[in-house]
Structure 1
Amino acid sequence: MKRAIIDLGTNTFNLLIGTIHGRNLTISHSTKEAVMLGMGGINQGKIAEDALDRAKITLTKFKEIAVADGVTEILGIGTSAMRGAENASELIGWAKKELEIEIRVISGDKEAELIFKGVSLLHDFEEDGMIMDIGGGSNEFILANKSGVLEAQSFNIGVSRLYQMVDQPEIFTPEIRERIDRFFEAETKGFFTNKQTPHLIGASGSFETLYEMMHEERFPMDQQMKELPIDQVRSLIDWSLKATLEERMDNPWIIPMRKKMLPFAAYSILWVMEKLQTERVSICPYSLKEGAFTADLS
C-alpha cells in the first residue's frame, strides 16, 4: 500500500510517498521545504509563532500532494525541535483536526534507529561504519557493521541550535570554534573515545550539499551510495569555515536554507572526522523517512 511519511525536522520538512517490498523502496514522490521549525525558539524549549505558521502552511501543501497521489495513510514524525518544545501539542492537535495527519514525536534513540534502517536499505555494512545524520536540533550517530547496530546515540548538537547559541554570526571565528568545541565535548560525554572508525557515512542532508559543491551538479536521484574523495572533503570544509556569508550566498551549489548554517555543519563533520580518524566518507541518500517505511510505528 502506498504511504506518505512526513519528517518534521528542525530545519526541513521532508515528504516521501512510496511503497516498500522487502528492501525495495519504490518512491513515487519526494519533496522538502525549509520550514525552520526551530528558529527563534529551539534553545528556549518552544516553537515560535512564525515557525508554527510555516509548519501549518507546509503540512497543508504536503497533504494536498499526498491526496493527489492517491495516498490515504499519512504519518508525521516529529524530531528534535518538537521533542523539546512545550507547545508542540499545538501543532500536533492542529494537524490532527484540520488535516487528519497524525504526528508522532519520537525519541532520539528511535530517530537513530530509523536512520539506521533507512541507510541499511542501500548499504550492507561489510565493514564497521559510523553513520552521521546532521539535523537542525540533534545529530545522530550510529556505529554499525554486518551484525547490526553496535552503538547509537542522539545528541542535541544540531546546526540550528549551534547557530542560534552563538547569535547567528556571518563568519565562523576562532572564538566560535573554541566555544563549539567545549559544547561538543560536554554534550557527547565521551561517546567518541576510542571509536576510531575509518568509514564515515553521511545520511543525506548536509553531506549532499558537499557533493553538490564538489561536483557542481545536483545530487543524483539514482538512490545509490556515493563516496567522496577525502582530500576534497577536507578542502570543502576548509572553504566553508573561512567563507564569508556573501561568498556562501553567491555559491549556487549551496541550497538557500544551508547558506547561513553551512560552517556549523562543516565544522560538525570535521570534528567527528578528527575523533574517528576518518579515511573514507560516503553519502547515503536514505535516512529517517526511508527507514520509517520499514518500521512499525503504531
Structure 2
Amino acid sequence: MILAAIDIGSNAVRLQINRPITYDGVTIFKKLQYIRFPLRLGSDVFENNQIGDEKFREFVKLMQAFKNMIDLYQVDEYYACATSAMREADNGNALVQAVKAACDLDINIISGDLEAELINRVIAFNLQTEEQYLHIDVGGGSTELTIYHGEEKVISKSFPIGTVRLLKKSEHLDTWDEMLLWIQEHKGKGSHFNAIGTGGNIRKLYELTNKEKGKYIGIKKLEEELHILKNMPYEERIVNLKLNEDRADVIIPASEIYITIMKKAGAKKIMVPDVGLKDGIISYLYDKNVLNKKI
C-alpha cells in the first residue's frame, strides 16, 4: 500500500508519499517522496481576501505536478487538505474546482479544529502519563493549541495568528488577548504546561540551536536566537544560516509566537518532534484503510 498527503498551507505546499511497512508487530512509514514548494498563498489572502491571478495559475500547475507524482508512484489513496489561507480566501472554492477540472485532484478545505485533530494523531506517542502538555502548532495563517493530560487530549482551539499574517500585519490585538486568556483559563491556578511544538519554523529553530532531533529547546535559547535573527539582515539569514528565502522572514514572527505562548503557559522548554500535518494525514489514511478507523 502507498499513501500520499498534500498539505496546502499559507506559506508553502507539501507533498509526502509513504509506504507503511509492518514487521514483527511494528509499523513504520517509509518515506518515498517529499516535496516542499514555496507558494505563499497567504501573502495574497491576508492582504486582499483572495488568491491573486498569478498564484491561482501557479497553484493549479503545482497540483498538476503533484497529481503526476501521485500517479507515477501508483498511490492507493491520497488526502489533500488546505488550511488557513484557502479557508479565508473568497475564491478558495473556485480554486478547488479549477484544480479538479485541470487534473481530477480533490482538495478538502478543512477547519482549524480538523487541522489540529490531524496533527494531534502523531503527537500523543511523544507524551508521558500524568504530565500536562500544551501542543503549539504555528502555521502561516493560524496557530493551533491543544491541551493534553498525559496522552489524552482535553481540548483544542485554532486562532487566526500566523507568521505570514503577522508579516502582512493583518492580525488583531484582541485575537492575541483571546488566545492568551484561553491559555490562562485552562492552565489552572499555580500550574504550568510542558510545551510541545510542531511546524517548519520550530524545527528550523531547533536545528539552529541544537544537534539532535526530538529533544528540547529552552526558552532562553529561543530568546537568544530571536535576538540574533532580529539583528541579522534578511540576506545574511539566507547566506550564513542557509535558510530558504520563504523561511528567512517568517522565522522571526514564528519565534515571537512560540515565546509568547510559552511564557503565558509557564513552559521553560519546548519539545520538538519531527512530525507535522502531513504525517497526521498519513496516519489517518493508514487507520482508515488498514484498521478501518476514521477521524
TM range (shorter): 0.7 to 0.9
1:124 to 124, 127, 143: 127
Whether 1:64 aligns to 2:68 is yes
Question: Secondary structure, in 3 states, of the residue corresponding to 2:43?
Answer: coil
Secondary structure at the aligned position of 2:182 is classed as coil
1:193 maps to which residue? 184
Q: Which residues of 2 match residues 124-273 of structure 1 at below 5 A?
A: 124-126=127-129, 127-165=131-169, 182-188=173-179, 190-194=181-185, 195=187, 196-215=191-210, 225-273=214-262
For the structure 1 residues 114 and 35, does the alpha-carbon distance in structure 2 shift closer, same or farther, using more than 3 Å as the test?
same
In structure 2, do the counterparts of structure 1 residues 138 and 70 end up closer, same or farther at CA, with 3 Å as the change threshold? same
Change (3 A) 1:277 1:23: farther
Unaligned runs of 5+ in 1: 167-179
Q: CA deviation digits over 1:136-179, x for unaligned, max 9? A: 1111111113341112111110111111127xxxxxxxxxxxxx
Call closer, same or farther: CA 1:70–1:249 in 2, change over 3 Å. same
Q: Do 1:213 and 1:253's aligned partners in 2 also have CA atoms closer than 8 Å?
A: no
**Which whole-Å CA distance do the structure 1 matches of 2:168 and 2:281 have between them?**
29
Three-state SS of the structure 2 residue aligned to 1:253 is: coil
Contact 1:156/1:187, CA 8 A, preserved across alignment = no
The match for 2:53 is 49
Cα deviations by residue, 1:84-116 (Å, 9 ceiling, x for unpaired): 111112221122222221101111111111111
Contact 1:140–1:152 under 8 Å retained in 2: yes
Does the 8 Å CA contact 1:132/1:140 hold for their aligned counterparts? yes
Please state how far the C-alpha of 1:14 moved relative to its aligned partner: 1.1
TM value normalised by structure 2: 0.84
Deviation at 1:187, TM superposition (A): 4.5
Residue 43 of structure 1, CA deviation: 4.0
Q: 2:45, 2:51 within 8 Å by CA — same for their partners in 1? A: yes
Question: Distance between the aligned counterparts of 1:189 and 1:230, measured in 2?
Answer: 17
**Secondary structure at 1:212 match in 2:** helix
Determine helix, strand or coil for the equivalent of 1:284: coil
Q: Distance in 1 between matches of 2:260 and 2:174?
A: 12
SS of residue matched to 2:207: helix
Residue 257 of structure 2 aligns with an amino acid whose one-letter code is S
Are the equivalent residues in 1 in contact too, given 2:183–2:265 (CA < 8 A)? yes
Amino acid at match of 2:7: D
Structure 2 partner of 1:177: none
Residues 258-295 of structure 1, C-alpha deviations (whole Å, 9 max, x = no match): 11222211111111111111122111221212112233
SS in structure 2 at match of 1:47:
coil
Identity %: 24
- Structure with greater helix share of residues: 2
SS of the equivalent of 1:39 reads helix
The 1-side partners of 2:98 and 2:84 are apart by 19
1:285 aligned to which of 244, 265, 274: 274
SS at match of 1:32: strand
C-alpha distance in structure 1 between counterparts of 2:248 and 2:10, whole Å: 16
Query: Which residue of 1 is the match for residue 40 of structure 2?
Result: 36
CA contact (8 A) 1:75 1:101 kept: no
Any conservation in 2 of the 1:80–1:137 contact (CA below 8 Å)? yes
Contact 2:219 2:259 in 1 (8 A): no
Cα distance in structure 2, aligned partners of 1:57 and 1:183: 38
Q: Is the contact made by 2:219 and 2:262 (CA closer than 8 Å) also made in structure 1?
A: no
**Per-residue CA distance 1:4-43 (angstroms, 9 max, x = gap):** 1101111111111114468643322222111101112224
Q: How many residues align?
A: 278
* Equivalent position of 1:176 in the other structure: none
Does the C-alpha gap of structure 1 residues 7 and 231 become closer, same or farther in structure 2, counting only changes over 3 Å? same
Please report the TM-score for the alignment, with normalisation by the length of structure 1.
0.84
Mark the runs of 5 or more structure 2 residues left unpaired by the alignment.
Answer: 289-293
Contact 1:206 1:265 (C-alpha < 8 Å) held by counterparts: yes
